[in-house]
Amino acid sequence: MRRRTRVEDFRERAAFAPENVYHHRSGGWAYIPVHFFAGETEDAVWTVDCWCLLGNDVALLECVESGHSSREPGLYARVDAANWPKLHAVLPAPLTRAAVEAVMQRFVELGFPDPLLSGLPPGGPLVRLPVD
């Protein structure tokens, strides 16, 4: 799937349910949470997924509490076989809106979408990203 198609798909999702669209507090990027953030529900929150329009591309951002992941804490990325960018973060609890938005900011700082995605082959595994 090409970038333009991903952006159009995101915009259609956002137009279908505009009340579900959040905007990154400092970056302004639109995103659609799939799950509640910690603090927005009484239930335990150990994973938060969001469809994110970061810059000129769309990715699925998956955040998992470090106590519920077999991966080391950090940031990861891959491009799935359908050519969708997948961003993954293993974070300490709680998975609040502020924590997830900080991760979005970090992925943009690391070069999402370009050059971060340019070295990731479609269908490849999650790659741990270098963090300073």
pLDDT tens by residue, 72-124: 999 999 999 998 999 999 999 999 999 999 999 999 999 999 989 888 999 99
pTM attached to this predicted model:
0.94
> Residue 51 and residue 53: Cα distance in Å, rounded?
7
Amino acid at 86: K
**What's the structural domain count of the chain?**
1
| Residue 22 phi, psi (nearest 5) | -105, 165
Residue 110: give the domain boundaries: 3-128
C-alpha span between 48 and 62 (Å, rounded): 6
Q: Is the pLDDT of residue 132 over 70?
A: no
